[in-house]
Structure 1
Amino acid sequence: MKDEVNEIKVSYCEKLGVIDSQPMTDSEQVTKLLYEHWDKNTIGLQETFKVLLLNNANKVKGTYQASTGGIVGTVVDVRLLFAVVLKTASVGIILAHNHPAGTLKPSQADRELTEKIQNAAELFDIRVLDHLIIAPHGRYFSFSDSGLL
């Protein structure tokens, strides 16, 4: 009797012209892009954590919603996050989540998660370019601009 083994296939299919897009160069530009595509019905209600996936020229390959949580927090599974980052062959990422209450100060949990993701990214030579906190009115806090990254 032969032992059966599951076959694993990994694929990435680019549907939008990444080559023709503009590179992401600053936190304001990235926040504007993310805010435009954030669900305005839930941005003031519950936390959501997203990742902007980038190629080597900092052009957007896509976004991934890593988690949706409650009013005061959300849990991100770093293994699932990096499964997507690696599957898309992204070399840079920008982290983002919202604070429904509108506060722009990063919590201790925000800082610890950022550090955990940075440490994991280092192993794969992936650049974590920023972590943005976005408020329901569109204002933001950038870890990178504030020297925390």
Structure 2
Amino acid sequence: MEQQKVQLPEWTKVAEVELVYKTKVKASERPKINSSKDSYELLRQLWNFGKMEMLEEFKILLLNRGNRVMGVYEVSSGGITGTVADPRLILAAAIKSLAVGIVLCHNHPSGNLTPSRADEQLTRKIKEAAAYHDITVLDHLILTGESYLSFADEGLL
């Protein structure tokens, strides 16, 4: 006797997506960002300075309405002269964490604090895309082993 295959409805043939944000830190205990210097000081603590002059990395700080840091997302790690910072991954992390503000950050292994044309274009692209989701790009920092540059402080944002 041959068994008949059951046809499942089309809606059962899609993947389920689950959005979850879990924290064990009270909002009042999270670092607060009031300036580019606050972002820089926090990122200095989080960055692996052994790699600062070796390879380029891109991270974002995810902030709540009170500018408290809900988390840090490591977007990418690349080579000596660049890394890929996919705006979709950045926005996915911001949306998933329910962030209302983000601070973009990457390092320049060369020690040069001057933003490249690609840095400026990426910042503009992420800022515009984030605005559609009511997420504000508060700053973009470029770090080196010795200092930092803030797009917001320099009027580049």
TM-score (ref. length: structure 2): 0.91
Q: 1:22 Cα deviation (Å)?
A: 4.0
* Residue 67 (structure 2) pairs with residue 58 (structure 1): yes
Matching of residues 70-109 of structure 1 within 5 Å: 70-109=79-118
Amino acid at match of 2:19: V
Aligned to 2:44: 35
Q: Is the 8 A contact 2:58 2:83 kept in 1?
A: yes
Which residues of structure 1 form unaligned runs of 5+?
none
Structure 1 segments, 4+ long, off by >6 Å, are none
Question: What's the CA shift string for 1:12-37, capped at 9, x where partnerless?
Answer: 11122223334200111110110111
Match of 1:13 in 2: 22
Give the drift of 1:122.
Answer: 0.8
- State the Cα distance separating 1:106 from its structure 2 match: 0.4
Deviates more, 1:74-83 or 1:124-133: 74-83
Establish whether residue 140 from structure 1 lines up as the match of residue 148 from structure 2. Answer: yes
Distance 2:30 2:20 in 1: 22
Aligned sequence identity (%): 45
Alignment map for 1:117-136 (pairs within 5 Å): 117-136=126-145
Q: How much has 1:51 moved relative to structure 2? A: 0.3
Q: Structure 2: 5+ residue runs without aligned partners?
A: 1-6
Measured at CA, do residues 22 and 70 of structure 1 come closer, stay the same or move farther in structure 2, by a change above 3 Å? closer
Q: CA deviation at 1:9?
A: 1.1
Structure with bigger gyration radius: 2
Quick one: which amino acid aligns to residue 23 of structure 1? Answer: K
TM-score, L = length of structure 1: 0.95
8 Å contact from structure 2 (residues 113, 143) kept in 1: yes
Distance 1:69 1:52 in 2: 19
RMSD (Å) for aligned C-alpha atoms:
1.0
